């Protein structure tokens, strides 16, 4: 698709991946008048169940990619581990693709990702790439204690092991199968935050306010967004860093950049996600344009209006642990959390993803809370968390 091309409502848009992010993209596209196609191998995928078309096939199936290209004016993705080669194949068939395969491939490899941060002048934790026994022997002592992370296919805390000594490091690398890894120095963290930017083909960039995040067991638990959730200086540094990272990739689409705020107040970038992000789900109810609408706009070459936060917002992640469990790994959805109590609270907005089985650690939905003031939003969020059995924050 050329830089000047605009895809208007009435056209068909595709998404690789049928999870909850794809579902919310489909909803946003349909609301704006587009038809949608989802490519996902799962016949019960959340996005596939609500899309106009569902191509049930593997992401690398050449016939499925041809079918997707024939149906769609443009295609995006909802998860970073979609094969970059599939995005390249779609682009070769004159289908608009964003984000591009080159951008996604950087996000899929922690070593390349770290190198990109350095090239953009955005500080990250001291690190070393570990691919060979020689590199293991050459690891410098100042990087310990650290976190060993697989270079590829790690998310939500998976593929990561904390190490204190060289012996720990060697054992951890063996445990991870001696695949390419990145060792990051552990830093004294004060809190975590993220910035979601949307960038057009012409280079126009808009961003949402900085999100303050709380993770538990490597999975996002709570996001809070309101003026003053972080210092003005930290917020500006995060926004500037996120925009620089997007520009350095010549990125087109919605990009989330996650940061650590250290105890001394300094900021380091952690990682990027080339798609909408869990920490941006509050935008569905707290902003005048959501991250998913901006995903549609960037894909279609439509104008990007700067999003406005109209209400202080909290987001609670709803994991399968909240459902009454009647078996070791799963529980029936008819044994649900007390939604009637939660929805009796003012400013609560429930979003469930249509997943048919609740499992511990599985993202089943989220609850957004909006209010006139941050204090009111926090109070309702804490009341909702208590109803659901979510730890206070």
pLDDT of residue 2: 47
Q: What is the pLDDT of residue 329?
A: 46
Find how far residue 269's CA is from the centre of its chain: 15
Mean pLDDT (whole number) for 179-198: 97
DSSP bridge pairs for 212: 193, 224
Query: Which of these, 153, 136, 137, 12, lies nearest to 69 by C-alpha position?
Result: 12
Give residue-wise pLDDT tens across range 189-206.
Answer: 999 999 999 999 999 999
**Is the model's pLDDT at 4 over the cut of 70?**
no
- pLDDT at position 80, please? 80
Summarize pLDDT for 131-147 with one digit per residue, the tens: 999 999 999 999 999 99
Mean pLDDT of the chain: 94
Tell me the CATH class for 189-388.
alpha beta
What pLDDT score was predicted for residue 336?
85
Q: Encode pLDDT of 33-85 as tens digits.
A: 999 999 999 999 999 999 999 999 999 999 999 999 999 999 999 988 888 89
**pLDDT more than 70, % of the chain:** 95
Kindly tell me if the per-residue pLDDT of 225 is higher than 80: yes
5 compared with 275, residue with greater pLDDT: 275
Q: Is the peptide bond prior to 145 cis by the omega test (within 30 degrees of 0)?
A: yes
Q: Which pLDDT score is estimated for 157? A: 59
Distance of CA 135 to the CA centre of its chain: 31
Give pLDDT tens digits for 328-368.
Answer: 444 455 578 999 999 999 999 999 999 988 999 999 999 99
pLDDT of 268 higher than 80: yes
| Region 126-185: CATH code | 3.30.1490.20
Task: Calculate mean pLDDT across residues 146-162.
Answer: 82
Among left, alpha and beta (phi > 0; psi -120 to 50; other), residue 259 is: beta
pLDDT confidence of residue 159: 82
Contact 322, 350 (CB under 8 A): no
Q: CATH says 12-97 is which class? A: alpha beta
**pLDDT class for 154, splitting at 50, 70, 90?**
low
HEC secondary structure over the chain: CCCCCCCCECEEEEEECCCHHHHHHHHHHHHCCCEEEEECCCCCCCCCCCCCEEECCCCCCHHHHHHHHHHCCEEEECCCCCCHHHHHHHHHCCCEECCCHHHHHHHCCHHHHHHHHHHHCCCECCEEEECCHHHHHCCCHHHCCEEEEECCCCCCCCCEEEECCHHHHHHHHHHCCCCCEEEEECCCEEEEEEEEEEECCCCCEEECCCEEEEEECCEEEEEEECCCCCCHHHHHHHHHHHHHHHHHCCCCEEEEEEEEEECCCCEEEEEEECCCCHHHCCHHHHECCCHHHHHHHHHHCCCCCCCCECCCEEEEEEEHHHCCCCCCCCECCCCCCCHHHHCCCCCEEEEECCCCCECCCCEEEEEEEECCCHHHHHHHHHHHHHHHCCCCC
Rounded Cα–Cα distance for residues 16 and 19 (Å): 9
Residues 6+ apart with CB under 8 A from 378: 224, 314
Query: Given this model, what pLDDT does residue 375 score?
Result: 98
* Residue located via tokens 């590829």: 152
Fold agreement (12-97, 126-185): no
Enumerate the domain spans of the chain: 12-97, 126-185, 189-388
Quote the pLDDT of residue 324.
82
């Amino acid at each position: 698709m050329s830089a000047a091309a605009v895809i208007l409502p009435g056209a068909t848009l595709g998404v690789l991946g049928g999870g909850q992010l794809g579902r919310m993209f489909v909803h946003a596209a349909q609301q704006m008048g587009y038809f949608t196609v989802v490519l996902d191998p799962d016949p019960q995928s959340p996005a596939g169940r609500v899309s106009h078309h569902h191509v049930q096939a593997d992401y690398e199936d050449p016939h499925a990619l041809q079918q997707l290209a024939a149906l769609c004016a443009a295609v995006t993705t909802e998860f970073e581990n979609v094969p970059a080669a599939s995005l390249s194949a779609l682009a070769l068939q004159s289908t608009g693709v964003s984000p591009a395969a080159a951008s996604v491939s950087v996000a899929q490899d922690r070593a390349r990702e770290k190198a990109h941060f350095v090239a953009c002048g955005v500080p990250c934790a001291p690190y070393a790439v570990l691919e060979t026994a020689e590199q293991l022997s050459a690891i410098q002592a100042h990087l310990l204690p650290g976190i060993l992370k697989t270079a590829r296919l790690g998310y939500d805390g998976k593929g990561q092991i904390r190490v204190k000594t060289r012996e720990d490091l060697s054992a951890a690398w063996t445990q991870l199968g001696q695949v390419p890894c990145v060792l990051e120095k552990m830093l004294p963290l004060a809190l975590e935050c993220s910035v979601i930017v949307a960038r057009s083909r012409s280079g126009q960039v808009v961003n949402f306010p900085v999100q303050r995040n709380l993770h538990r067991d490597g999975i996002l638990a709570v996001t809070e967004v309101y003026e003053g959730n972080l210092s003005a200086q930290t917020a500006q540094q995060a926004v500037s860093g996120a925009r620089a990272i997007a520009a350095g990739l010549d990125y087109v689409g919605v990009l989330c950049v996650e940061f650590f705020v250290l105890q001394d107040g300094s900021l380091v970038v952690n990682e990027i996600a080339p798609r909408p992000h869990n920490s941006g789900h509050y935008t569905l109810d707290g902003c005048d344009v959501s991250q998913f609408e901006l995903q549609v706009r960037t894909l279609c070459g439509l104008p990007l209006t700067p999003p406005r936060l109209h209400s202080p917002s909290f987001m609670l992640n709803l994991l399968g642990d909240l459902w009454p469990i009647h078996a070791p790994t799963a529980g029936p959805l008819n044994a649900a959390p007390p939604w009637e109590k939660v929805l009796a609270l003012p400013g609560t907005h429930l979003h469930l993803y249509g997943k048919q089985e609740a499992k511990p650690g599985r993202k089943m939905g989220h609850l957004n809370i909006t209010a006139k003031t941050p204090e009111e939003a926090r109070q309702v969020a804490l009341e909702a968390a208590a109803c659901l059995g979510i730890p206070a924050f």
